[in-house]
Amino acid sequence: MAELLLEGSRGEEVRRLQRNLNAALADQVVILDGKNILPLETRTGIFGKRTKAAVIQFQRDFKLKLKDGKVGDETRKALAMRVLVIEGTISRNPNPSPVTPKPSPPSRPSVTPVVPTPPPANKHWLFQAQPATGLTPPPFFSTAGPSASVVTGQVSFGIVYRTASEGPHWEFGGAFQPSFNSQNSPTDPRYTLQLQGSVTYADPYSRGRFHTALFGQVVLLTNLAPTSFAGGVQVGGQISLDIIEDKWNIFSQAGVQLAGQWTLCGQPGGCAGQLTFGPVFTVLGTTIQWDLQ
């Protein structure tokens, strides 16, 4: 029995499936999220939601028993027969050698082979809202001396540009984030306003609704009551789980941050500066996003 292909699968078998679906559905329009998804992208070899929608459309067209978007023996055989009738051959490798099409039966008109043109990688802008609960344990190092763990509640609003919507890709973003701090001291004021710039390598590993990411951030913030300013850099990793694919997920993050903080003169402990280096965690957050194009 051949390998079962389903959402999250990847590799040459997926590329072959996508090429054959492009040929079998060449005269079709398959709409997903308001857009025609055909022809499928075949370069990444990732079985994503577009490939699943195309498989379901093929299963419906050919009245197969299973219409679940998974490619088992029944779907594979039906697809092979369809492509054989259309092109006289079945895709066997990423760069197949020219093959003379088999003559069509006399009762069937000949059909010109369809050679799909891969579309450019998807590029679009997103708006994101991210409520989250965070934890900052005592730092590895601080010029201000020992400190206790800090719990934060935060919500960020940002714009993100992503280079693709499936498979490993880069994301670039900026966000505004107000936060509430469990401490209320000159070195840990209760309220903070923060600006972030981030670079993310998304989906180095994904499986179905499970995703991962590596990120780096530059952070500028102002603490309120007493007023102080801080800046820092942070690097870390994220895991997330889709609730509604490409619309809503839950996530957790872990990272390390190097930050400097400066208190204004005239404030308690004024004209003072401090440097910290330590871990930061987003214990649980959720991302809600909207396409801007």
Nearest to 90 by CA among 75, 79, 105: 79
In the block, tokens 């001396």 appear at: 145
**Cα–Cα distance for residue pair 222/93, rounded to 1 Å:** 57
Residues of the chain with CATH 2.40.160.20: 124-291
> What value does the mean pLDDT take over residues 66-89?
82
Residue 110 pLDDT level (bands cut at 50, 70, 90): very low
CATH 1.10.101.10 in the chain, residue ranges: 1-119
CA atoms within 13 A of residue 254's CA, in its CB half-sphere: 3
Q: How far apart are the first and last CA of the chain?
A: 43
Mean pLDDT of the residues in the chain = 81
pTM, to two decimals: 0.58
Closest CA to 239 of 209, 217, 279: 209
Q: Round to whole Å and give the CA distance between 44 and 142.
A: 45
Q: Per-residue pLDDT averaged across 173-199, rounded?
A: 84
Contact in structure between 82 and 49 (CB atoms under 8 Å): no
Q: How far is 214 from 63, CA to CA, in rounded Å? A: 43
Confidence at residue 239, expressed as pLDDT on a 0 to 100 scale: 95
Pairwise CA distance, residues 227 & 268, whole Å: 9
The CATH architecture to which 1-119 belongs is: Orthogonal Bundle (1.10)
Least confidently predicted of 10-19, 23-32, 160-169, 245-254:
160-169
Q: Nearest Cα to 19, choosing from 73, 89, 70, 85?
A: 89
pLDDT tens for residues 15-59? Answer: 999 999 988 888 888 898 888 998 898 888 899 999 999 999 999
CA triplet 247, 46, 245: central angle to 5 degrees? 10
- CATH code given to domain 124-291: 2.40.160.20
117 has a pLDDT exceeding 70: no
For 153, half-sphere exposure in the C-beta direction (CA atoms, 13 angstrom radius) is: 3
| Confidence check: pLDDT of 232 > 50 | yes
Q: Which of 40-54, 79-93, 229-243, 267-281 comes out lowest in average pLDDT?
A: 79-93
